[in-house]
A and B are shown apart, each in its own frame.
Chain A
Amino acid sequence: MLEAIFFLPLLTGLLTLCLPVRSGRVVLMAVALLHLGLTGFCWLHAPAPHLPTYFGNGPAGVLVLLVISFIFVCIAPYSIFYMREQEMRSEPIFLGCMQLFLGTMSMAALADHPIVLWIAIEATTLASAPLIFINRSKKALEATWKYVLICSVGIALALLGFFFITLALDRAGIDVPLTFSALNEAARQLDPLWLRTGFIFVLIGFGTKMGLAPMHTWLPDAHSEAPSPASALLSGALLNCAFLGIYKVHCLMVLAGLGEFSGSLLIGFGLLSIAVAGIFILNQPDYKRMLAYSSIENMGVIALGIGVGGLGLYGAMLHLIHHSLLKSSLFLSAGNLVLGFGTKLVAQCGGMARLLPRTCLGFFAGFLGISGLPPFGIFVSELMILTGAIQTGHPIAAGLFIAALVLVVAGFARIATDMAFGPVREEVLVPEQTVRIVPPLALLATSVLLCVWMPEPLYETITSTIAMIGGTLHG
């Protein structure tokens, strides 16, 4: 039953590849709604997996699954109307790969076997590559090539890391199945040297996919060259899957008593990512690239939060949810902007408030949110991570974190002013359309809503996700 969540989009995705465009669009929309329904069912009834050796519904997995599913439901109608405005030669491929991408990401979220998780994450790379080069421009080709090659090589290293973790299990001489749940129970007996080596490789491997600096080089290219709905999925859903891989191994490390080691590595990579992203955001002429760098920054914040532990863990999980909501909303608004103005350069987007008023509203509200200003959730989560860092005795990390955040906010502010005061254009290429305005605004509204009212099951899932490695809300 649990497996249906990823089998359904995989099957319909393959089917859509050979269907005509019109019915393909209907299938995409139906699958998005059905997937959300199945995810809801999974949350309420926690169905048992058919293949418990490979899949399971751990709290971290279902949390990521819910985020993916919710974002996909918002992106699916948008992408249908976005594609209608563009002369698209191969729309069936786009529609099919969107569903395959959803299927592989759901599989990654539900995987409990390390190698199955690896297979699913490598499959996400392959399913999303056609989404990026769908336009077949020179730049899109370059971006796709870098994406496929850098991520494949990176993820290959993660496979090596999982072999080392298996070795740690063999060296301990205990006979348990190779699943994360079984490994967690036997964590204390595992060979610490090989566990450490394994973690380093997994962190580098999945860190490449998650966009942690200095392995992030594919990310700005892929996110800026992909069509906007695909960018929104890449940034809002895919990065979380790669994070989940790192998080699961980090949990194993903490349970094995090596949390100090893995935590400090996560803090290091996290801070480096925030700083690198801050520097590149500061003078970024291309707003989609700027959003991509902001994703690197936010992934860094999540890694930092997980690394410091305590209250930071809760903050990191909250940050994951709100970053996905806000960033996919921003990418969707950016898509409207690309359609309207036909450019990705900040300097040529003057007069946005007059020509595209509703897009402007969504875009700037998203800007406020992603810079960490209230009433959006990132304000709360970043505050929690900061408090967590100070409580757990990482004052230097907290200081660097604040400094890097200032850089990021400065970059955002500069772009906002450039967009407001740039040379005013006379007309737009494609006017605004309500169907393309509602999804980004709905995502923003969800972020605000989650700040004032968090449903009980969601709260409980987050706390049980972090309780395993000693994170509390009242730390």
Chain B
Amino acid sequence: MNTGIDVVLVVILLSVLLSLASSRMMALVKIMALQGAMVSIAPLLLDEHSPLSNEGILFFQLMFLIKAALIPGLLYLAVTKVAIKREVEPIVGYHASLVVGLGLILLSAYITHHLGISLTGDAALLLIAAITTLGGGLFLMMSRTKAITQVIGYLMLENGIYLVGTALTGQSHSIYLVEFGVLLDLLVGVMIMGIILHNINRTFDDVDTAYLGQLKD
């Protein structure tokens, strides 16, 4: 067993649980920075990972920079500028959310064992962490009222999907140029969401999604 990857995966799982239980917006942003850092180094610690090419090294540095610094930085700006009330304001309470998070881990383990694909020890754990992160992100989006927590939930969902990709697909397919494109989309997406958030805050004096309910049939 490779202990490095185990530590990283455990930190990712803990970050999901922490994010579900945290009541402060700032804490949530810090957790996302930690999670982004862990997610971007996880593929490097896998056993089957071949020695990196030059462009590989560049890509992983860029990814670390974007996921662990740039995106949390943008979120930090958004929180300081936008959120007047710094509470997360959950629809589902913190303890109940935590229980949901634990349930998600169990469910992910169940799914991973019943997929019918033989995964090596590392990849199986990686897949459990990935599905939990994915589910945790979706749950966070649905169970918090602030628009900014929806962005954080979306980022967590993306982190989960990236981990699923790392766990399931062979290294031979990772073309760094393509993966960088995905990352760029994510970055621009967060920037645009930030701009809209800013405008929502200016127009409605709050970023509560309850105000966004005028358009319906």
| Alpha-carbon distance between A144 and B203 when the two chains are bound, in angstroms | 14
B200 located at the interface, meaning its Cβ lies under 8 Å from any Cβ of chain A in the complex? yes
Q: A149-B150, A153-B154, A156-B157 are in contact. Are A119 and B189 (CB under 8 A)?
A: no
Identify the closest chain A residue to B151 (Cβ): A149
Which residues of chain A have C-beta atoms less than 8 A from B184's C-beta? 119
- Which of B182, B188, B200, B217 sits near A145, CB closer than 8 Å? B200
Question: How many contacts between A and B, using CB within 8 angstroms?
Answer: 108
- Which of A116, A138, A163, A284 sits near B214, CB closer than 8 Å? A138
Check B214–A152 contact: CB distance below 8 A: no
B84 located at the interface, meaning its Cβ lies under 8 Å from any Cβ of chain A in the complex? no
The size bracket of the interface on A is 35 or more
Identify the closest chain A residue to B186 (Cβ): A122
- Which of B141, B164, B214, B217 sits near A153, CB closer than 8 Å? B141
Q: A119-B181, A139-B214, A141-B196 are in contact. Are A126 and B165 (CB under 8 A)?
A: no
A142 located at the interface, meaning its Cβ lies under 8 Å from any Cβ of chain B in the complex? yes
B1 located at the interface, meaning its Cβ lies under 8 Å from any Cβ of chain A in the complex? no
Check A141–B192 contact: CB distance below 8 A: no
B185 located at the interface, meaning its Cβ lies under 8 Å from any Cβ of chain A in the complex? yes
Contact with B along A270-297 (1 / 0, CB 8 A): 0000000000100010000100000000
Check A163–B196 contact: CB distance below 8 A: no
Check A166–B169 contact: CB distance below 8 A: yes
Check A142–B185 contact: CB distance below 8 A: no
Check A126–B164 contact: CB distance below 8 A: no
Check B161–A115 contact: CB distance below 8 A: no
Contact with A along B142-169 (1 / 0, CB 8 A): 0000010010001001100100110011
B49 located at the interface, meaning its Cβ lies under 8 Å from any Cβ of chain A in the complex? no
Q: A116-B178, A118-B182, A156-B157 are in contact. Are A167 and B189 (CB under 8 A)?
A: no
Contact with B along A187-224 (1 / 0, CB 8 A): 00000010000000000000000000000000011001
Q: A146-B212, A163-B168 are in contact. Are A220 and B217 (CB under 8 A)?
A: yes
Which residues of chain A have C-beta atoms less than 8 A from B168's C-beta? 163-164, 166-167, 170
| Alpha-carbon distance between A156 and B137 when the two chains are bound, in angstroms | 12
Check B217–A167 contact: CB distance below 8 A: no
- CB of A158, distance to nearest CB on chain B (Å): 10
Main secondary structure of the interface of A (DSSP, over half): helix
Check A280–B217 contact: CB distance below 8 A: yes
Which residues of chain A have C-beta atoms less than 8 A from B214's C-beta? 138-139, 142
Q: A139-B214, A156-B161, A170-B170 are in contact. Are A148 and B178 (CB under 8 A)?
A: no
| Alpha-carbon distance between A220 and B134 when the two chains are bound, in angstroms | 28
B215 located at the interface, meaning its Cβ lies under 8 Å from any Cβ of chain A in the complex? yes
Q: A118-B182, A163-B161 are in contact. Are A136 and B192 (CB under 8 A)?
A: no
| Alpha-carbon distance between A115 and B184 when the two chains are bound, in angstroms | 13
B114 located at the interface, meaning its Cβ lies under 8 Å from any Cβ of chain A in the complex? no
Which residues of chain A have C-beta atoms less than 8 A from B134's C-beta? 160
Check B182–A138 contact: CB distance below 8 A: no
Check A142–B173 contact: CB distance below 8 A: no
Which residues of chain B have C-beta atoms less than 8 A from A143's C-beta? 215
B193 located at the interface, meaning its Cβ lies under 8 Å from any Cβ of chain A in the complex? yes
**7 residue pairs bridging A and B, Cβ less than 8 Å apart:** A148-B189, A149-B154, A166-B173, A167-B117, A169-B173, A170-B168, A225-B215
Residues of B within 8 A of A (CB): 116-117, 134, 138, 141, 147, 150, 154, 157-158, 161, 164-165, 168-170, 172-173, 175, 178-179, 181-182, 184-185, 188-189, 192-193, 196, 199-200, 203-204, 212-215, 217
Residues of A within 8 A of B (CB): 53-54, 113, 115-116, 118-119, 122-123, 125-126, 129-130, 133, 136, 138-139, 141-146, 148-149, 152-153, 156, 159-160, 163-164, 166-167, 169-171, 175, 178, 193, 220-221, 224-225, 280, 284, 289
9 tightest A-B contacts by CB?
A: A119-B181, A142-B212, A221-B215, A122-B185, A166-B169, A163-B165, A167-B168, A115-B178, A170-B170
Task: Identify 5 new A-B residue pairs, CB closer than 8 A, beyond the known A119-B178, A148-B196, A149-B154.
Answer: A129-B192, A141-B199, A145-B147, A148-B189, A193-B116
